[in-house]
Chains A and B, each alone.
Chain A
Amino acid sequence: MDGYIIATVIKAILILAVISALAGFGTYIERKILAFIQRRLGPMHVGPFGVLQIAADGIKLFTKEDFIPSGANKIVFMVAPIITAATAFIALAAVPLLPEFTLFGIDVKPIVSDMNIGILFVIAMMGVGLYGPLLAGMAQENKWGIIGSARTAIQFLSYEVVTGLSLLAPIMMVGSLSLIDFNTYQAGGIGHWIVWTQPVAFILFLISGFAETNRTPFDLLENEAEVISGYATEYSGMRWGMFFIGEYANMITIGFLASLIFLGGFNPLWIIPGGLAIILKVAFFFFLMLWVRSAWPHIRPDQLMWLCWKVLMPLAVINILITGLVMMA
């Protein structure tokens, strides 16, 4: 029992440290890749190829004055960024990050809590995470903030249905909500990946994943051109940084979910060992998000609602119906 508690605490601290470091590194990668796609150089001056730009940004964020606007609701204003960052990491607790391995003679399961409803928990926690932007926008006395939180509400109500329904068809095939069961279901190599039998669900999940993480076709909450910075208008320093870390952690979570559910998870791939395989897959999804950001314009809120309710949701329902019919036949 004691060993279990200590192991869980160590795993939680490791995930917290590694993912927040990756989130910081993600900002550098994002700027660099965006720059290359747009034929620029990106950050170049701080350190070799601008790698130390992360450190410079970190120092700037930590030392910036943390002020609270006088008209704002102070408690909610201070709590809101913590919600976004905390829920992003809580969601990662139910995700198996790597295959099991042996370290100093101890079998290590790289998952904090192996619950049998893993998918539901991750989706629910990421949903709760949107309370961060919502409360932030409402707590600051700022019109851009209110618009940002109104957009948060409609975005949440639009994509959440699509996420749930698109995942239902793979869940029906596997017959379990545990992410580890999804992984073992696809153990037979590339031919057994769920993406081949559920391509529609895969695309729907990716689209709603982009909406979930506020990535570019759906970055309505903080679109600079329209609403200054939306919910984050009045934030500065580390409070703003926590929104940022939460967003990047969510991007990594969506990458893990997509590769675990649809792309074979951490099963060994040809000559690539399983641990490296899933990291490559997550890196691919991370790159895909940046690629889409540089290639696509963002859409209007009413277009998002139209897309989610009138196109994606009927598609997801039809997909579930067909899956059910095929499974019964």
Chain B
Amino acid sequence: MEAIAFYIFAILITGLFLVTAFSRNILYAMSSLAAGMVLISGLFFILGADFLGAVQLVVYSGAIMALYAFGMMFFDATRDVKEKNTSSYLVFLLSGFSAVALVVIFAAPTIGKHIEPIVTAPQGLDNPHAIGAVLFTKYLIPFEVAAVMLLVAMIAGIVLASKKMDESLSEIYLDADPETEKKEQE
């Protein structure tokens, strides 16, 4: 039962991400990326990691929605994008890396037999509680460091984008004097 579900999910995810990599249409690429991310949560659900599965859904659906917003600004969604492959060194490097990654992936089951978990899952707790217990005891410092990094990124974003943040956007356009606008751009 689980094996059947796993293979269905695995084939779908691989197929969708292949579409993401090879499609020239921005709409296909992003839609298959989003669908693939949603389906990855299915793998988490099969493994019994319900909480991580739901987090995968929440986080990636939001993140890819932001990607769509950029895609909408930069591309015409109904046309194919003309790709420019000027650097053959880049292609060479990337394909080399992919080959190495493939070897690692195929070797992983052999290596994986010798892996033992550093932290065993706490017994008698359900999924979200167990994750919380491990996250806030064993891995507290990495967790907090990640939180600080996100805070830094957020403050940097606010500083970069904060011009005229205390005004409503539509009021800026109403009040804006074309002359001063030009000077500011210069």
Give the B-binding residues of A (Cβ under 8 A): 71-73, 75-76, 79, 115-117, 120-121, 123-125, 127-128, 130-131, 134-135, 138-139, 141, 146, 149-150, 153-154, 156-157, 160, 164, 177, 300, 302-303, 306
A-B contact pairs, 28 of them (CB 8 A): A73-B25, A75-B28, A79-B31, A120-B51, A121-B57, A124-B58, A127-B57, A127-B58, A127-B62, A128-B38, A128-B57, A128-B61, A131-B34, A134-B68, A139-B77, A146-B77, A150-B72, A153-B68, A153-B69, A154-B69, A156-B62, A157-B62, A157-B66, A157-B69, A160-B58, A300-B170, A302-B169, A303-B168
Residues of B in contact with A (beta carbons under 8 Å apart) = 25, 27-28, 31, 34, 38, 50-51, 53-55, 57-58, 61-62, 65-66, 68-69, 72, 77-78, 126-128, 168-170
Decide: A160 near B62, CB < 8 A? Known: A116-B127, A128-B57, A134-B68: yes
The distance from the CB of A303 to the nearest CB of chain B, in whole angstroms, is 8
Q: Are B72 and A149 in contact (CB under 8 A)?
A: yes
Give the distance to chain B from A313, nearest Cβ to Cβ, in Å.
12
A29 nearest CB across to chain B (Å): 31
Contact B77 A156 (CB under 8 A): no
Q: Are A138 and B72 in contact (CB under 8 A)?
A: yes
Q: Residues of A contacting B25 with CB < 8 Å?
A: 73
Q: Which residue of chain A lies nearest to B67 when distances are taken between CB atoms in the complex? A: A153
CA distance A71 to B77 in the complex (A): 11
Contact partners of A131 in chain B: CB under 8 A: 31, 34, 61, 65
Chain A residue nearest in CB terms to B169: A302
A134 vs B55: C-alpha distance when bound (angstroms): 21
Which chain B residues lie closer than 8 Å to A76 at the CB level? Answer: 27-28, 31
| Distance A249 CA – B42 CA, assembled complex (angstroms) | 23
A116-B128, A164-B58 known; 7 other A-B pairs, CB under 8 Å? Answer: A76-B31, A127-B62, A131-B61, A131-B65, A138-B27, A160-B62, A306-B168
Tell me the interface secondary structure of chain B in the complex.
helix
> In the bound complex, what is the Cα–Cα distance between A128 and B78 (angstroms)?
22
Q: How far is the CA of A164 from the CA of B28 in the complex (A)?
A: 29
Instruction: List the 5 closest A-B pairs by CB distance, nearest first.
Output: A124-B57, A120-B54, A138-B77, A153-B69, A124-B58
Contact of B168 among A79, A149, A302 (CB under 8 A): A302
- Cβ contact of A141, chosen from B50, B57, B78, cutoff 8 A: B78
Closest to B77 in A: A138
Q: How far is B86's CA from A225's CA once the two chains are assembled, in angstroms? A: 47
The CA of A75 and the CA of B127, in the complex, are separated in Å by 38
Across-interface contacts of B38 in A (CB, < 8 A): 128
Q: How far is the CA of A156 from the CA of B51 in the complex (A)?
A: 22
Chain A residues whose C-beta falls within 8 Å of the C-beta of B27 in the assembled complex: 73, 76, 135, 138-139
With a cutoff of 8 Å between Cβ atoms, the chain A residues found around residue B168 in the complex are 302-303, 306
Closest to A306 in B: B168
Q: Once the chains are docked, how many angstroms separate the CA of A139 from the CA of B25?
A: 11
CB-defined contacts of A127 to chain B, threshold 8 Å: 57-58, 61-62
- Tell me whether A116 and B31 are in contact (CB under 8 A): no
Given A116-B126, A117-B128, A120-B51, answer yes or no on A125-B65 (Cβ-Cβ < 8 Å): no
Distance, CA A116 to CA B55, complexed state (A) = 13
Indicate if the CB atoms of A134 and B54 lie closer than 8 Å. no
Chain A residues with CB under 8 Å of B58's CB are 120, 123-124, 127, 160, 164
